[in-house]
């Protein structure tokens, strides 16, 4: 990329007249700069800039008024380095006709346990990783993300994977497993809760429509709608070893979907909905608690959906009466 085009794309001002005319790649850390690179001076000090130049940077992109110490390389001033990075990603995404797709938290957890074909990938959460992923993507590649704010900045016209509301379970037994037929393929005893069956089918439809090959790996412990089976004393038991389970969820959108699923399939005595009193989620006839310890007072239920973190609930369940009394 030429220095002139780079400055124009990121809406930057070149502070000098460099003798170099183009750059070969980008670096976010001075120690990673190689000859011909452009260095993003993001939260970088003067020493970082000097090190980048020493390593062979052909351009330095920053928000400060640099005093060029090497007249041969380009010093480009921008109002925001973060915005400059986003502009480059947006240009590259448009130029390569990349496709972006929004998914919810459950679909993202499933995607993290799927081996995708070469034309599809999950969007990294770190800016440098995402930048390199987009810069090195091939024409037409597809990226999945649960962060719609980032998607909006890179590609406002992004896709979304919808839930297949017509998906049907075959011989449903446990709510923590799924057997179904989707796009003519039989899937037996998947370690995916039945409440997410339509979301999974939506993903599989999207794969088919966009020629994405895939392989389902171990989908246990999705970290959503995750059961903790308990004995009569509310002590954690092995999976399926008890008729009662606390089901943990910490995502608001999924919690409401799971609430509707349990209320549709079980009576209000069988399935309880439990929320901290401080929560903004409003569910009719829910059990509201001030402390998680109060969950141990519940009686006569089969399932209790609890809005909290799993580790926090396990800590409470594993406490002895003496330990609980200390708090």
User: Which band of pLDDT confidence, cut at 50, 70 and 90, is reported for residue 320?
Assistant: low
- 228-241 pLDDT tens trace: 999 999 999 999 89
Tokens 């966009």, residue?
210
What residue numbers bound the domain in which 103 lies? 86-160
Tens digit of each residue's pLDDT (9 = 90 or more) over 204-221? 999 999 999 999 998 888
Same domain, residue pair 72 and 101: no
Range from 171-175, 244-248, 262-266, 279-283 carrying the lowest mean pLDDT: 171-175
Residues 245 and 320 in one domain: yes
Is residue 59 within 8 Å of 14, Cβ to Cβ? no
- pLDDT-derived band at 109 (thresholds 50, 70, 90) equals very high
Q: What is the pLDDT of residue 172?
A: 84
Domain assignment present for residue 237? The answer is yes
Counted domains in the chain: 3
191 found inside a domain: no
Q: Is 168 within the bounds of a domain?
A: no
The domain boundary, picked from 160, 176, 210, lies at 160
In this prediction, residue 131 has a pLDDT band, given cuts at 50, 70 and 90, of: very high
Whether residues 80 and 95 share a domain: the answer is: no
- Residue pair 267/296 in contact by the 8 Å Cβ criterion: no
Last residue of a domain, one of 160, 189, 217: 160
Q: Is the pLDDT of residue 326 over 50?
A: no
Q: Please determine, for residue 28, whether its predicted confidence score (pLDDT) is greater than 70.
A: yes
DSSP string, 145-161: ES-HHHHHHH-TT-EEP
Give 288's strand partners. Answer: 275
- Render pLDDT for 280-296 as a digit per residue (tens, 0 to 9): 999 989 999 999 999 99
pLDDT at site 65: 77
Residue ending a domain, choose from 143, 160, 177 = 160
At 271, list the tokens.
């399935």
Over residues 139-164, the pLDDT tens digits come to 999 999 999 999 999 999 999 999 99
Which of 267, 247, 243 is closest to 257 using CA atoms? Answer: 247
**pLDDT score for 142:** 98
* Residue 231 is assigned to a structural domain of this protein: yes
Reported as a single tens digit per residue, the pLDDT across 300-313 is 999 999 999 999 99
Cβ 90 vs Cβ 150: under 8 Å = no
Which is nearest to 250 in space by CA: 208, 305, 315, 180? 305
pLDDT of 46: 87
Looking at the fold, whether 81 and 128 belong to one and the same domain comes out as no
Q: Is 315 helix (H, G, I), strand (E, B) or coil?
A: helix
Q: Are residues 238 and 319 in the same domain?
A: yes
Pairing of strands 303-307, 271-276: parallel
* Residue 55 near residue 3 (C-beta atoms within 8 A): no
- Helix-strand-coil percent breakdown of the chain, rounded to 5? 35, 25, 45
pLDDT at 137: 97
Say how many C-beta atoms besides its own lie within 10 A of residue 270's C-beta.
13
* pLDDT, mean of residues 50-54: 93
Overall average pLDDT of the 22-51 stretch: 94
190 in a domain, yes or no? no
Contacts of residue 322, defined as CB under 8 A and 6 or more positions apart, other chains included, come to none
């Amino acid at each position: 990329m030429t220095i002139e085009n780079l400055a124009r794309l990121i809406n930057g001002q070149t502070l000098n007249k460099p003798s170099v005319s183009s750059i070969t790649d980008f670096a976010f850390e001075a120690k990673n700069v190689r000859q011909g690179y452009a260095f993003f001076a993001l939260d970088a000090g003067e020493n970082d800039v000097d090190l980048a130049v020493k390593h062979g940077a052909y351009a330095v992109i920053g928000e400060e008024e640099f005093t060029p110490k090497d007249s041969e390389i380009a010093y480009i001033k921008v109002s925001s380095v973060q915005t400059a990075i986003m502009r480059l990603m947006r240009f590259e995404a448009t130029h390569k006709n990349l496709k972006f797709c929004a998914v919810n938290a459950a679909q993202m957890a499933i995607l993290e346990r799927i081996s995708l074909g070469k034309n599809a990938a999950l969007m990294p959460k770190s800016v440098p990783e995402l930048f390199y992923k987009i810069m090195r993507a091939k024409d037409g590649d597809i990226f999945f993300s649960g962060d719609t704010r980032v998607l909006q900045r890179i590609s406002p016209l992004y896709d979304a994977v919808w839930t297949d509301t017509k998906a049907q379970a075959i011989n449903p037994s446990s709510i923590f497993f799924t057997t179904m037929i989707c796009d003519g393929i039989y899937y037996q005893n998947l370690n995916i809760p039945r409440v997410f069956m339509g979301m999974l089918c939506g993903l599989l439809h999207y794969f088919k429509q966009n020629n994405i090959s895939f392989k389902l790996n171990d989908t246990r412990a999705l970290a959503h709608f995750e059961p903790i089976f308990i004995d009569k004393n509310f002590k954690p038991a092995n999976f399926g070893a008890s008729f009662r389970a606390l089901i943990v969820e910490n995502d608001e959108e999924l919690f409401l979907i799971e609430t509707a699923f349990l209320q549709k399939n079980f009576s209000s005595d069988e399935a309880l909905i439990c929320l901290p009193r401080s929560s903004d989620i409003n569910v009719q006839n829910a059990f509201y608690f001030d402390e998680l310890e109060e969950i141990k007072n519940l009686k006569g239920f089969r399932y209790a959906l609890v809005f909290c973190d799993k580790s926090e609930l396990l800590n409470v369940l594993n406490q002895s009466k003496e330990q609980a009394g200390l708090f």
